[in-house]
Structure 1
Amino acid sequence: MKRLVLAMALTIVPVLGWAEGLTHKVAIHVDQNDPQVMNMALNNVANVISYYESVGDTVEVEVVAYGPGLNMFVEGKSPVEDRISTMSLELDNLSFAACGNTHRAMSAKAGKDVPLMSEATVVPSGVVRLIELQENGYAYVRP
């Protein structure tokens, strides 16, 4: 009987350890040139991080923008530029991915390189980045 109780206790202890301090991963997708959508995405970021911190968990959040949504990261043009800069300084667990395909097309159309905010990392493809994140356990959110 003692062995059974000990075996059950050893089985339960690791599970209890996992219940505290979970790490969550979230990918947020922006593909519209709409300040309201961009702000909603950043509100989602703030709310998700705040919630998980309040329950003792951690969370990694990546905002991925492509198509018309890439305007979110265009330096001097983004309607949420100040907010992204502030959040980027305050939150180590937040990153921004800019679609390289969209950036190349946007630059070609403009006839010059379109500067992106330094907070955004250019990835080859925004869609592929979202797929990779989901394959790596990220939850997908589209505001």
Structure 2
Amino acid sequence: MDLIKVSQEPIDVNKLTDWLSQLPQDGAIVTFMGKVRSIEKYTISLFLEHYAGMTEKVLVNIIAQARERWQLSRVAIIHRVGKINVNEQIVFVGVSSAHRADSFAATEFIMDILKNEAPFWKKERTTDGDIWVDAKKSDADALKKWY
């Protein structure tokens, strides 16, 4: 049971947590919520673009990889696109399973793979103007522990 959504709508964390919590055999629910932050230059907002259809296929594949490694019940990946202001949520990953080790590992894995493989392009609006955000070396380095 997977929930994948890419949209401009705000993320309803409570609704997603309720969905993850519905199965009585699951003793562990782990969630990650990322938000737009302001660092170095004063960030006003991000604008995210994606390739509709392709992005969702990549997210389906990421969940499939996680399911091959761990015993998971429910998995949710929600990612926003469009204009997202500082301090607003940009991504939500949630995993339910019988045991916490599987949920923790799968959530970290999903985020690490998502940051490297999902086709999202970010433009940062700062007080100094707009700039496209490059991939971070630290995100690429995070993949090393999984492959």
TM-score w.r.t. the length of structure 2 is 0.31
In terms of fraction of residues, the more helix-rich structure is 1
Which of 1 and 2 has greater Rg?
1
In terms of fraction of residues, the more strand-rich structure is 2
